[in-house]
Structure 1
Amino acid sequence: MNTLDDPQLQTVLQRLHAAAADDAARWAARREQQATGQLPQDEGLVRMGEFYLAVSPDEGRLLYLLARATRARRMVEFGASYGVSTLYLGAAARDNGGHLVTTEAHPDKCRALRANLAQAGLADCVTLREGDALQTLADRTEPVDLLLLDGWKSLYLPLLRLLRPRLGEGALVLADNVDHAAAQDYVAAVRAPDSGFLTHLMGDLSVSVCL
């Protein structure tokens, strides 16, 4: 049995996926409140605390499979939120004999994430760095086999540049929601002929292999 099928982990994932399914209703309520002036038009406040912004079960399993297929042992994630994608990558880290470093800026989400990791039995496979990822990952010296970008889109390219020296040949870089306007500089960069990456777009997911 692989870790992804562990009942302890699946119980946590099912709870989180069920909670994340209500994001659409929360978005609609927020937009209505903003339209009527009950809330400020501030995307930062809207997106930070109450929304899961989670990968779907299919997307999560894809993350796990990609990590296993590439035998990624040293993984980094930007934008853990409540930890749905973190749990999938953490399971792959355990099965690959590796470790995941994840990042999250929102204190409430960090507290919830730590609890979710403990309940899933993956706390020993995942290190959470709380705060601005450009700062919390700045001292990273170890190589990176797999990098997942799934936070603020405007930080995708700066973070890629920060970690580029740690990405060896064959390293995998995944970036979610790249159809967002703020991610277009990232998409242009990884698709440029001289980028050092081979990149394929799958819907709103960018998959890049370091050459």
Structure 2
Amino acid sequence: MTRTSTLRDPRVERALSRMFAQAEHDDVAAAAVVADRPTGYAPTTARERADDAAAIYMPISAEGGRLLYNLVRAARPTTVVEFGTSFGISTLHLAAAVRDNGRGHVITTELSRAKTAASRRTFAETGLDDLVTVLEGDALDTLATIEGAVDLVLLDGWKDLCLPVLHLLEPRLSPGTLVVADDTSFPSMAPYLAYVRDPANGYHSVDFPVEDGMEISCRI
């Protein structure tokens, strides 16, 4: 029997094609947001940052999305947690893999009300909304409400918050849980990388050279 990835579903292909095209158009605007706050946006609150970038796509790369899909297919997680929905490009890859596994659910969190609404529309249009729960609000608040084990984590929100979010989720990470962080070449990711690369903190970590860098860490 021939099987086709949900990423090949015409609804998903159309959504990803549209969003990647918009993201490419937004590259200059996204770079300007970063340039205004070269140290990881520290001078502003998470809410102010979300408002600044409410209309800007700052997505995972296409190659990074395919990597996420493969990781979820291989790990077969029951609960996937994503920090930083944005418009939902990475979430679609996660949800497509969950669909093809025949098990699991994606919990994702986004501070921007506009992006939350847009991503929910996209998940409904692609037929993946039954596999995704979008939590609107500050991730340090919304993710604190999660119950049970977390089996795979994607950290792709504001870079200075990746380590605090990881600390928040750590009590729910079992041995073997994968934690993936995007944009690791950003200077503001240095504290996060130092933490997961220190064996004393309980991870086996490897740098994966995709676009702006990804770190794949296994909880040991």
Q: Tell me the TM-score normalised to structure 2 length.
A: 0.86
Q: Which runs of 5+ in 2 are unaligned?
A: 37-42
Which residue in the other structure is 1:53 paired with?
Answer: 58
Residue 12 of structure 2 is matched in structure 1 by 9
Aligned residues: 204
Q: In the TM superposition, what whole-angstrom CA distance separates every residue of 1:53-96 from its partner, at most 9, and x where no partner exists?
A: 01122111111001101112210000010000010001112122
Give the match for residue 164 of structure 1. Answer: 170
Contact 2:30 2:57 in 1 (8 A): no
2:71 maps to amino acid: L
Closer, same or farther in 2 for the Cα pair 1:120/1:71, shift >3 Å? same
Contact 2:135–2:142 (8 Å) recurs in 1: yes
- SS of corresponding position for 1:63: helix
Q: Confirm or deny: 8 A CA contact 1:93 1:125 kept in the other structure.
A: yes
SS at match of 1:141: coil
**Which residue does 2:141 correspond to in 1?**
135
1:120 matched to 2:138: no
Structure 1, 69-78 or 121-130: larger mean CA deviation:
69-78
Question: Structure 1 pair 156/27, CA: closer, same or farther in 2 (3 Å)?
Answer: closer
Residues 48, 119 of structure 1: CA spacing in aligned structure 2 closer, same or farther, 3 A cutoff?
A: same
Q: CA RMSD in A?
A: 2.1
Given that residues 74 and 146 in structure 1 are in contact (C-alpha distance below 8 angstroms), is that contact kept between their aligned partners in structure 2?
yes
Task: Say which of 117, 139, 150 aligns to 1:144.
Answer: 150
Measure, in 2, the Cα distance between the counterparts of 1:184 and 1:142.
29
Could you tell me whether the CA contact under 8 Å between 1:190 and 1:198 is conserved in 2? yes
* 1:37 match: none
Deviations 1:140-190 (A, max 9, x none): 122111100001111111111110011111110000112222221111111
Matched AA of 1:44: R
Structure 1 unmatched ranges of 5 or more? 35-40
Partners of 1:186 and 1:85 lie apart in 2 by: 20
Q: Percent identity?
A: 44
Task: Encode CA deviations 1:99-142: one digit per residue, 9 max, x unaligned.
Answer: 00001000110110011101111000000000000000102122
> How far, CA to CA, are the matches of 1:199 and 1:77 in structure 2?
18
> Matches of residues 58-97 of structure 1 in structure 2 within 5 Å?
58-96=63-101, 97=103
Q: Which residue of 1 aligns with 2:214?
A: 205
Structure 2 CA distance for aligned equivalents of residues 45 and 131 of structure 1: 10
Cα shift at 1:46: 7.5
- 1:29 & 1:157 partners in 2: Cα distance? 24
Secondary structure of the 2:201 match is coil
Describe the shift of the 1:178–1:31 C-alpha distance in structure 2 as closer, same or farther (beyond 3 A): closer
Question: Residues of 2 paired with 1:140 and 1:95: CA distance?
Answer: 24
> Given residue 14 of structure 1, which amino acid in structure 2 is its aligned partner?
S
> C-alpha distance in 2, partners of 1:149/1:166?
15
TM-score (structure 1 length as normaliser): 0.90
Q: Report the Cα distance in structure 2 between the residues aligned to 1:198 and 1:29, rounded to whole angstroms.
A: 34
Moved more, 104-113 or 48-57: 48-57
1:30–1:56 Cα change, 3 Å: closer
